[in-house]
Amino acid sequence: MSAPANRLSVGGLPLEALADRFGTPLYVYDAAAPREAYARMRRAFPRAAKILFSLKANPNPSIVAVLREAGAGAEVASIGELEIARRCGIPGADTVFAGPGKTDDELRASIAGELASVNVESRGELDRLARLARAAGQRARAAIRVNPSSGGGSARVAMGGRATAFGVDEEAVPELLRHAAGLDSIELVGIHLFLGTQVLEAAGCVEHLATGVRIARLFREVVGRPPAVLDLGLGLGVPLFANDPALDLDECARLGAAPLAELAPETELVLEAGRFLVAEAGTYVATVLDRKVSHGQTFVVLDGGMNHHVAAAGGFGNSLRRLFPIRRLGEAAGEDEEVTLVGPCCTTLDQFGSRLRLPNLEVGARIAIQRSGAYGYSVSPLLFLSHPTPAEVLVDRGDARLIRERRSTAALFATEWGEP
């Protein structure tokens, strides 16, 4: 039987007690959730040689370590993420560097780290990688990120199939493949596709797989051999909002079997996932600081808002501008009420929801925002208004431990104030 809404727990530990112990604002993560999500992906896609965790979703080293232990590699998008992956024991052979705007330093680090692939986003980037690899006396493994002309319409937030900063338009891919195949300091390993995030229908996932297989065919026609790697960031989603369906991964796998059967046996299928692996693990907890009524509307003011969890305040993509699951912790003294939930930042954007029906929220009461493990802490403007940052706690096998300290304003400004 599940616990009543106000008795929420994470990994078997009551959230109220965790908030008392660690204070708020607070992110709490359940280590069992990424493990389970990873196992679900593994079961559904036995054909996948590698499952990579996209660190951008939650780069806390303790979260990365949980996924590494489960078997995941890393998809990184900066030299910082590359360093986190390395320190978490993820070898270069299980790491892929993707994303636009790679600096020379990032490309050099990728070459030196002998990454599984650098997923290049343009001809300019490919040529820079080739030049830097030659200068280092090495060969760099590269995949071409493709922006397919069709086949990516079902992501809630689409990042391909139209004019975009990501990847190389499909029409230009044959010429770029021929060019890449002729570069002696480049080992052309294959292709990469990431078409968008928060895919919730099996059909969308299958469309993405089928598009990948189609581009793999194009690679074979142009290069004369199948790609060694087909790297797909499927954008697997989780139900964040009321009426969102839960993605049926087994259905994805069942329907995806036909297109995948076409893939040459020597082509390694690599899958990237961020949100799917960690979103459900995380809960954000904040405390009510104040209440007020304005023009008949009740405002409940929390000790954290968009500065800590910009996605829940609707600030991370149009399609995500809806309500996350919000619960009150503990017993409410009064009746349910209609409130607008705001943070302490001086902008009307700082709102977790308006006119929400919630149990009475007196000063000192706590709220929990669930499914906050992905794109929470990592995408939020933590320095806005110079508040202390939220602490992060991991619950694993019945134990809770601090995995990132709350940073005081003094700690955040130590360098500026000359107080190292």
Ligand X SMILES: Cc1ncc(COP(=O)(O)O)c(C=O)c1O
Binding site for ligand X (CB under 6 A): 54, 56-57, 75, 98, 194, 197, 233, 235-236, 272-276, 374
- Minimal distance in Å, beta carbon 46 to ligand X? 20
Radius of gyration of the chain (CA): 23
Q: Are 120 and 294 in contact (CB under 8 A)?
A: no
SS3 of 230-275: EEEECCECCCCCCCCCCCCHHHHHHHHHHHHHCCCCCCEEEEEECH
Phi and psi at residue 107, in whole multiples of 5°?
-65, -40
Q: Which is nearer to ligand X, 98 or 286 (CB)?
A: 98
CB of 416 to ligand X, least distance (A): 31
The span from the CA of 175 to the CA of 146, in Å, is 12
For residue 358, the minimal CB distance to ligand X (Å) is: 29
Contact status, residue 402 vs residue 392, Cβ threshold 8 Å? yes
Minimum distance from residue 315 beta carbon to ligand X (Å): 16
Closer residue to ligand X in complex, CB, 178/321: 321
Please answer whether residues 240 and 320 qualify as being in contact, where contact means their C-beta atoms are separated by less than 8 angstroms: yes
Q: Is 108 helix (H, G, I), strand (E, B) or coil?
A: helix
Classified as helix, coil or strand, 291 is: strand
If the CB atoms of residues 166 and 219 are measured against ligand X, the closer one turns out to be 166
Nearer to ligand X, 155 or 301 (CB): 155
Task: State yes or no: cis peptide before 390, omega within 30 of 0.
Answer: no
Nearer to ligand X, 62 or 78 (CB): 78
User: Residue 194 Cβ, how far from ligand X at the closest point, in Å?
Assistant: 4
Q: How far apart are CA 197 and CA 309, in angstroms?
A: 18
Tokens read off for 66: 């949980």
Shortest approach of ligand X to residue 17 CB, angstroms? Answer: 31
**Closer residue to ligand X in complex, CB, 85/391:** 85
**Mapping DSSP to helix (H, G, I), strand (E, B) and coil, where does residue 53 land?**
strand
| Shorter beta-carbon distance to ligand X: residue 129 or 367 | 129
| Nearer residue to ligand X within complex by CB, 170 or 272 | 272
Q: Which residue is nearest to ligand X (CB)?
A: 274
At its nearest, how many Å lie between ligand X and the CB of residue 299? Answer: 32
Say which residue the tokens 């998008």 belong to. 77
CA 366 to chain centre: 26
Residue pair 326/15 in contact by the 8 Å Cβ criterion: no
Q: How far is the CB of 15 from ligand X (least distance, A)?
A: 25
